[in-house]
Structure 1
Amino acid sequence: MNPPSRTRLALLLGIAGILLLAAIIISPMLLVSMPSFLNGDGASIDCEGGTKVEEVSDSGASDIPADYLDLYKKWGKKIGVQWNILAAVGKRETDHGRSNLAGVKSGTNYAGAAGPMQFLISTWGGKAQVAMSSTFNGYASDGDGDGVGDVYNPADAILGAAKMLKRNGAPENVRRALFTYNRAWWYVDQVEEIARKYAKSGAVEVPPQASEECDDPLVAAAPSEIVAKILQYALAQRGKPYLWGGTGPDAFDCSGIIYAAYRAAGLSIPRTTFTQWPFGVKVLAGEEQPGDLVFFNAGPGTSADNPGHVGLIVSKGKMVEARCTLCGPIKVTSYQARDNKVGFTRPLQNPDVLDQLKKLQTPAL
Structure 2
Amino acid sequence: MIPSKALAGRFSWRGLAVALAVLVPFTLFGSIMLMTPSPSLLIGGGLGGADCAEAATATDLSESAREDIPADYLELYKKFGAQIGVQWNVLAAVGKRETDHGRSSLPGVKDGTNYAGAAGPMQFLISTWGGKPRIKMGTDYNGYASDGDGDGYGDVYDPADAILAAAKMLKRNGAPDDLRRAIFVYNRADWYVDQVLAIAKRYAATGGIDTPNPACDLAEDAPDGVVQKILEYALAQRGKPYRWGGTGPDAFDCSGIIYMAYRNAGLTIPRTTFGQWPFGLRIEPGSEQPGDLVFFDAGPGTGPDRPGHVGMIVSPGKMIEARCTRCGPIKVTTYADRGNVVGFTRPLQNADVLEQLKSAALT
Q: Spell out, residue by residue over 1:257-277, the C-alpha distance to the aligned partner (whole angstroms, 9 max, x if none).
A: 1132234443231424x6644
Q: Spell out, residue by residue over 1:193-230, the C-alpha distance to the aligned partner (whole angstroms, 9 max, x if none).
A: 22233334333233556x7x9866555x24x95x5553
- Please tell me the residue identity of whatever aligns with 2:243: W
Q: TM-score, normalised by structure 2?
A: 0.70
- Cα pair distance change 1:70/1:228, threshold 3 Å: closer
Contact 1:130 1:140 in 2 (8 A): yes
Contact 2:101 2:121 in 1 (8 A): yes
Structure 1, unmatched stretches of 5+, are 1-35
The 2-side partners of 1:110 and 1:304 are apart by 47
Give the deviation of 1:155 after TM superposition: 0.5
- Cα pair distance change 1:108/1:317, threshold 3 Å: same
Match of 2:345 in 1: 346
The 2-side partners of 1:88 and 1:179 are apart by 13
Contact 1:291 1:346 in 2 (8 A): no
Matched-pair identity in % = 60
Q: How many residue pairs are counted as aligned between the two chains? A: 314
Contact 1:277 1:295 in 2 (8 A): yes
1:252-263 pair list within 5 angstroms: 252-263=252-263
Match of 2:230 in 1: 230
- Cα pair distance change 1:196/1:143, threshold 3 Å: same
Instruction: Tell me the SS of whatever aligns to 2:175.
Output: coil
The 1-side partners of 2:219 and 2:103 are apart by 48
Contact 2:242 2:328 in 1 (8 A): no
Contact 1:291 1:313 in 2 (8 A): yes
Match of 2:163 in 1: 158
1:78-97 pair list within 5 angstroms: 78-97=83-102
Match of 2:63 in 1: 57
Instruction: Tell me the SS of whatever aligns to 2:288.
Output: coil
In the alignment, which of 31, 50, 53 is matched to residue 44 of structure 1?
A: 53
Q: TM-score, normalised by structure 1?
A: 0.70
Instruction: Tell me the SS of whatever aligns to 2:75.
Output: helix
1:204-353 pair list within 5 angstroms: 204-207=209-212, 219=222, 221-222=223-224, 225=226, 227=227, 229-237=229-237, 239-245=238-244, 246-264=246-264, 265-272=266-273, 276-277=276-277, 280=280, 282-296=282-296, 309-323=309-323, 329-336=329-336, 338-346=337-345, 348=347
Instruction: Tell me the SS of whatever aligns to 2:295.
Output: strand
Q: Larger radius of gyration, structure 1 or 2?
A: 1
Contact 1:244 1:252 in 2 (8 A): yes
Contact 2:59 2:204 in 1 (8 A): no
Contact 1:282 1:343 in 2 (8 A): no
- Please tell me the residue identity of whatever aligns with 2:272: R
- Please tell me the residue identity of whatever aligns with 2:62: V
Larger relative contact order, structure 1 or 2 (CA cutoff 8 Å, min sep 6)? 2
Deviates more, 1:178-187 or 1:119-128: 119-128
Give the deviation of 1:167 after TM superposition: 2.1
Match of 1:194 in 2: 199
